[in-house]
Amino acid sequence: MKENKYDEERFFEKYGEMPRSRYGLAGAGEWPALEPLLPDFSGKEVLDLGCGYGWHCAYAAAHGARSVLGIDLSEKMLAAAQEKNAAPAVTYRRCAMEDLVLPDSSVDIVFSSLAFHYVRDFVPLVQNIARWLRPGGAFLFSVEHPVFTAYGSQDWFYDAEGNILHFPVDNYYYEGPRQAVFLGEPVTKYHRTLTTYLDALLTNGFRLARVVEPPPPESMLDLPGMRDEMRRPMMLIVSAQKPA
């Protein structure tokens, strides 16, 4: 049974208070690093795995995508997406990305923002994506960084006075579920190594175009706590292509 945390009332409400939920793409710290890596959407068929509120679906549609299919496991997220980010070219569908069935060579761009760390098995998903994409198609995703998921708690290590000492890494090579705390709630996330994220693409027919660990944007460094984000990587962005 896949965990569907975002349909729990309390968690969903807290998620709704995050800057990225309230302000969309502009509220997401990684957006300045992510946007330049986005492919040209004009006339393209796009798939968004774990679309959430649908901000990226709306962006793709606004930038000329012919069709956008946004997939999410959470009914509440999809209702919010329909309300905030509906567009004629965009379809939202409730489905676990692991269970999605699509024809071979049927999409031009596969996108996923911060969702793959909820998926237990990455390699079969990558193999599906390789099949769904047309030759020459683009695959762009962000995910929580292996440094961020390895230990489990996703919290800093503090001294007795509550000052941050450093970020802990442990059990790095032991891939699998972690009981993380996100928005004060327990959530299962799956840790996997960088090798798995990148090498799974390289050994399943993808060509890597870019690999980026987005630091906090300069403009946000003076906001509370943002300078701490320079102390450990939290996200990984990977841009890949299926060779033409």
Residues making contact with a copy of itself (CB under 8 A): 147, 150-151, 157, 165-174, 193-195, 198-199, 202-203, 207-213, 215, 230-233
Residue 65: name the closest of 84, 99, 83, 91 by CA: 91
Buried b (16+ CB within 10 A) or exposed e, 29-45: bbbbbbeebbbebeebb
Smallest distance from a copy of itself to CB 215, Å: 5
CB 145 within 8 A of CB 234: yes
> Regarding beta strands 185-191 and 176-182, do their DSSP bridges make them parallel or antiparallel, or are they unpaired?
antiparallel
Q: Tell which residue, 220, 102, 229, has the closest CA to residue 167.
A: 229
Shortest Cβ 105–a copy of itself spacing (Å): 23
Closer by beta carbon to a copy of itself, 127 or else 171: 171
Answer for the pair 237, 214: CB distance below 8 angstroms, yes or no. Answer: yes
For a copy of itself, the closer of residues 87 and 156 by Cβ is: 156
The CB-of-151 to a copy of itself minimum distance in angstroms stands at 6
Whose Cβ is closer to a copy of itself: residue 37's or residue 87's? Answer: 37
Tell me the three-class secondary structure of 43-72, residue by residue.
CCEEEEECCCCCHHHHHHHHCCCCEEEEEE
Which of 91, 171 has the CB closer to a copy of itself? 171
| Nearest distance, CB of residue 30 and a copy of itself, angstroms | 13
From residue 173, how far is each of 49, 126, 160, 188, 203 by CA, in Å? 26, 20, 29, 18, 19
Task: Closer to a copy of itself by CB, 102 or 209: give it.
Answer: 209
- Residue 172 C-beta: closest distance to a copy of itself, Å: 5
Q: In this complex, which beta carbon is closest to a copy of itself, that of residue 54 or of residue 216?
A: 216
Closest approach, Cβ 164 to a copy of itself, in A, equals 9
- Among residues 194, 206, 214, the alpha carbon closest in space to that of 35 is found at 214
